[in-house]
Structure 1
């Protein structure tokens, strides 16, 4: 079943001669339980597209829908949640970790006690025992642990779409694999559609079922990850694959 649909989307910034066309006619779909990677060079429009799917950037033309309705940056079925590149800055420094994970549940109307109990289970799912970490502040944990908390918070209220914008690029290489595996296990197990933005083709190849290659705001090509990376159809994708280290 298709969860996320992006149909001929155009996004621009500025006016007149200074207007930048960040996304030009992007079209693709992501089904439930599937992971779609968005790849391209810096400035290709990847993050702009991610923010639009999360309802955080205005679409000038075209349509983005989640289960047929406009994306809503809220928790709960039909909602879209986002995991950002900098996990520490995305967490409230004054709140305890258990309360951070419980916050979207409270916003969705879950009673406080039930929200804390469910948040504790979610922390365990990401390998952060609430008995050990629940009362800590974001400053008391590592970057990798902070990203686990960010993922727990994003998935706690079971959104339909999870958008992850370069979620492992700032982490040590030894931590990246754990976060990637965690994203795969949690989203597939919950039938969540995952939109994963990255410049690292090897990570995308490991995690994503399908890939969308973006160049200058346009979709250069898309398809099954193994097909696109194994048999690139365009010169741009061939250059991208050739330039990737250890790929």
Structure 2
């Protein structure tokens, strides 16, 4: 088993974040599950503790500098100094450009990009001191462009840019930084997309699967499994990469 480390997973209440937090615990790490409200992570923490792991639910607005500082201080005092960070927190405020508000733009960029910046800046010192660190940022196939998602696409493309830059800056300290870009993953977020465009989630999944070479949509665990490798000691020479988890090639 790999060395026990302290892992922070943002957006850990459900979907990819919850699956990732649970996988981190299976890998032997202590997990801080962050979401806007600590109580929203109760299910994730319960799943971890029921399997013999240790986890802490922490409430934090990752787009707020003070909230991030307080959350990281809480993790350090109650679990220890984090050397694994998964920047998964994200929201959608979909609309066509002419109907998209400035608030919708700012909210999405704030949670995804500002959140990844603030969280990464807050923990990098612990990683540098330890001579080991793993940061994984969640991008998306939407980074390649997706109708009705100018804000989300820009944020997810930005996640790739910050990934490559931090990989350059932090590599000499034993810190790797990578991005995972999922395609269609069956989560509450994709269910909300189906509702927005006015189709049933079942039909949405069926139609999506028909376009995917492996003939199925992804599950949160598909992303968590890759996450498990990227944060491990075995991935020490993999950095600055954007890995698409989409069931086939991407453009």
Task: Give me the TM-score of the superposition, normalised by structure 1.
Answer: 0.32
**When you count helix as a share of all residues, which structure comes out higher?**
2
Higher RCO (CA < 8 A, seq sep 6+): 1
Name the larger-Rg structure. Answer: 1
**When you count strand as a share of all residues, which structure comes out higher?**
1
